[in-house]
Chain A
Amino acid sequence: MRLSKLERKSAIAGYAMLSPAMLVIALVTIFPIGYSIWMSMNTINSTFTGFQFTFSGFTNYNIVFQSSLFWQALWFTTMYAAVTVIIELVLGLLVALALNQPIRGRGLAIAVMLIPWTLITVISAQMWGYIYNGIYGVLNYLLMSIHIINAPFLWLGSPVSATISMMMADIWKTTPFVTMILLAGLQLIPSELYEAAKIDGSSAWNSFWHVTFPLLRPSLGLAALFRILQAFGLFDLPFVLTGGGPGTSTMSIAMVAYKAIFNDGAFGPGTAVAVLTVALVILLAVGSLKALRTQVGEIDT
């Protein structure tokens, strides 16, 4: 089919309008990712004249795979992501279901739920660090005054309690956002469907599983995907709240890469960790979308 002159002109204008955005994205994401892969296959030495690259195949990956810190951080990050994402989805769904009815103050609730999302994670980490503090933290005070504990507890003092404390801070900050996504999804479900289910004598439990849940799948998939990706990039919270400690027990993969590159100058192995993270994230993203059978919205022309 031959394009009319007007159409050809519009198409040229279209490419011209699209290219600045695509150019920036290509330069700052695609090119560096390729470069990352190249870097991860080189031994990189810092010299006076700059960085010296020597191709070394999979040497860096071997170094990474032999490092117990990498495996520990990988396990920590995976476990942390799984636990926080599941709790946030379940909690977010329950709150969204409770709020998905005409009750007063819902507008206010939605406004307040947006606030933790706008909060700088570093600030949240400092805030919780002060609340958890073993000497003057308010959490110890509250728990002691209702006699749950008898003496101040060092929340960030042991690997297990530090991990749980960090998860709590994360759940506090992110559940409201998950709730918002799910609430938005719930409001798209026509109320006639519930009426019909009710007339058919369906119980609340049944109409949840047969009406709400299937229709909410896209929102759940979106929230899960969004959270999994974020959880695997985990960096800000442990960096400030625990510094990866006690010991290295709360080090995330991103922290391992950061420390290798910028504290130890190990560019090659550090970048290999980064590349492995990307591979893992892509697998998880595809997996979680498949699991929830979410489809990328059809691209209308």
Chain B
Amino acid sequence: MKRRTSRIRIRKLIGYIVLLGMLLIIVAPFYWMVATSLKGNLSIGNFPPTLYPHHPTFYHYQRAFTTYSFGVYFRNSVIVSVIATVVVVILAALASYAIARLPIRGKAPIMVFLLAISTFPQVAVISPLFLILQRLGWLDSYQALIIPYVAFNLPFAIWVMRTYFAGIPKELDEAARVDGAGVLTTVFRVIMPLATPGLFTGGIFTFVACWTEFFFALVFNSSQSFRTIPVGIALFSGQFTIPYGTIFAGSTVAVLPIVLLVLMFQKWVVAGLTAGAVKG
């Protein structure tokens, strides 16, 4: 018995060591980014580096938004990501409800089709989309990113939401129908409120994907006034040196809102991962 408790103790100790090590490894580069963004230009290029900013300054934050157009990138990212996420949640909710609940044909092929679509790399569609957008005069526009983002994020959102709809007792739909409610009334009044966690999960995954997307944004919207944050930060460059202070000031501002958002909705993100693990 004694041996067994000591074994459990060792296991726990290993758990704590792994946990601490992991936290340190994850956090250290972030610390370095934020610390650098608060340093003066001279100490950024120093070797050996100073491990913390001796004279913290917001100079780079000011430059990111005034000399450089970081404010524009930020606005573009917010507009594109928010609109794409809202559209995905609405379209995916409708589609996944239909697949989970309504007597339509070909449900299994539809789900397999969606899974297959979500495996396609973006590079597969880049040149035709570029030609089409150019023909439409839509290069450097919000819709040039919103539409592809919606299409590429719908399959996963539908997969996740379907799991939730499938988990709501069918009797609820039937009861509402018997009371004379139409399909839409049933969906919006009875089922959607119960499926809110699923909508959140689909929404969060979509938002993160849009916020971090680089390839489409680089190809379709590379003009200064339509760059999103990833493109802006990738193409940030000074005349002679890489302006790391400004890059990291902008990056810190870009990281904060999404970290807060994900921590707030942590429960739904984890739920999405579990749904993935169950359904595989």
Is A69 in the interface zone, CB < 8 Å from B? no
Q: State the total of A-B contacts with C-beta under 8 angstroms.
A: 303
Q: CA A299 – CA B263 in complex, angstroms? A: 32
User: A119-B255, A233-B121 given as contacts; is B107 within 8 A of A301 (CB)?
Assistant: yes
B131 CB, nearest partner CB in chain A, Å: 6
Which residues of B29-61 have CB atoms within 8 Å of chain A's CB atoms?
A: 29-30, 32-33, 36, 44-49
Interface flag for A47 (CB, 8 Å)? no
A126 to B248, CA, bound (A): 8
Contact flag A176-B215 (CB < 8 Å), given A136-B45, A274-B124, A301-B107: no
Question: Of B36, B114, B234, B248, which is within 8 A of A122 by CB?
Answer: B234
Q: Is A76 an interface residue (CB 8 A)?
A: no
Q: Name the residue of chain A whose CB is nearest to the CB of B99.
A: A18
Report chain B residues within 8 Å CB of A146: none
Q: Is residue B226 contacting chain A, with contact meaning CB distance below 8 A?
A: no
Which of A154-162, A206-214, A275-283 interfaces with chain B? A275-283
A232 at interface, CB cutoff 8 A: yes
Q: 1/0 per position for A116-143, CB-CB distance to B under 8 A?
A: 1111111111111111000110101100
User: How distant is the Cα of A109 from the Cα of B219 in the complex, in angstroms?
Assistant: 37
The answer to whether B262 touches A114 (Cβ under 8 A) is yes
Closest residue of chain B to A182, judged by CB?
A: B277
Instruction: Return chain B residues, CB-CB under 8 Å to A124.
Output: 29
**Contact call A29/B117, Cβ cutoff below 8 A:** yes
Contact of A115 among B30, B130, B154, B280 (CB under 8 A): B30
Task: Give min CB distance, B271 to chain A, whole Å.
Answer: 9
Chain A stretch 1-56: residues in CB contact (< 8 A) with chain B? 3, 6-7, 9-11, 13-15, 17-18, 20-22, 24-25, 27-33, 35-36, 39, 50-51
**A122 x B230 contact (CB < 8 A):** yes
Is the CB of A244 closer than 8 A to any CB of chain B? no
Tell me the minimal C-beta distance from A124 to chain B in angstroms.
8
Contact A141 B47 (CB under 8 A): yes
Q: Is B136 an interface residue (CB 8 A)?
A: no
Closest residue on chain B to residue A141 by CB atoms: B48
CB of A93, distance to nearest CB on chain B (Å): 12
> Is there contact, CB below 8 Å, between A281 and B25?
no
**What mask results when residues 177 to 201 of chain B are scored 1 for a CB within 8 Å of chain A, else 0?**
1000001100000000000000000
- Is the CB–CB distance between B259 and A115 below 8 Å? yes
B118 CB, min distance to chain A CBs, angstroms: 9
CA distance A285 to B32 in the complex (A): 37
Q: Within the complex, which residue of B102, B248, B273 is in contact with A180, where a contact is CB–CB below 8 Å?
A: B273
Decide: A240 and B234 in contact? CB cutoff 8 A.
yes
Asked if B125 contacts A281 (CB within 8 A), the reply is: no
Report if B65 contacts A (CB, 8 A). Answer: no
Query: Count of A residues near B, CB < 8 Å?
Result: 111
Q: Is the CB of B121 within 8 A of A294?
A: no
Q: Does B23 contact A (CB under 8 A)?
A: yes
B251: interface (CB < 8 Å): yes
Q: How distant is the Cα of A21 from the Cα of B89 in the complex, in angstroms?
A: 10
Count residues of B near A (Cβ-Cβ below 8 Å): 103
**Interface: A111 (CB within 8 A):** yes
Question: Does chain A have a CB within 8 A of B112?
Answer: yes
Chain A CB within 10 A, most for which of B26, B30, B116: B26
**Besides the known contacts A17-B94, A20-B95, A126-B234, 4 further A-B residue pairs in the complex with CB atoms under 8 A apart:** A130-B248, A176-B26, A261-B127, A296-B111
Interface pair A21/B120, CB less than 8 Å apart: no
* Cα(A294)–Cα(B277), bound, Å: 11
Q: Are B47 and A172 in contact (CB under 8 A)?
A: no
B131: A residues at CB distance < 8 A: 51
**B229–A218 CB distance below 8 A:** no
Pair B126/A261 contact, Cβ less than 8 Å: yes
Is B166 interfacial (CB 8 A cutoff)? yes
Within 8 A of A (CB), among B120-169: 120-132, 135, 147-148, 150-152, 154-155, 158, 166
A112, B27: Cβ atoms closer than 8 Å:
yes
- Pair A29/B19 contact, Cβ less than 8 Å: no
Q: Give A106 to B278 CA distance when docked, in angstroms.
A: 22
A271 nearest in chain B by CB position: B127
In the complex, are the beta carbons of A36 and B15 less than 8 A apart?
A: no
Residues of A within 8 A of B150 (CB): 24, 28
B27, B32, B49, B132 — most chain A CB neighbours (10 Å): B49
Q: Is A229 part of the contact surface with B, judged by Cβ < 8 Å? A: yes
- Are B119 and A3 neighbours in the complex by a CB distance under 8 Å? no
Contact A36 B233 (CB under 8 A): no
Query: Would you call A246 an interface residue if the criterion is a C-beta within 8 Å of the partner chain's C-beta atoms?
Result: no
Task: Pick the residue among A106, A117, A140, A254 that contacts B123 (CB under 8 A).
Answer: A254
Known: A122-B230, A136-B49. A218 touches B280 (CB 8 A): yes
A207-239 interface code vs B (CB 8 A; 1 in, 0 out): 000000000001101100100010011011001
Residues of A within 8 A of B279 (CB): 296-297
**B151 touching A120 by the CB < 8 A rule?**
no
With beta carbons under 8 angstroms apart, the residue of A126, A131, A135 that contacts B247 is A126
Q: Is A199 an interface residue (CB 8 A)?
A: no
Query: Chain B residues with Cβ under 8 A from A187's Cβ?
Result: 274
CB-CB < 8 A to B103: which residues of A?
A: 3, 7, 10-11, 14
The residue from A13, A20, A236 contacting B215, defined by CB atoms under 8 A apart: A236
Is the CB of B258 closer than 8 A to any CB of chain A? yes
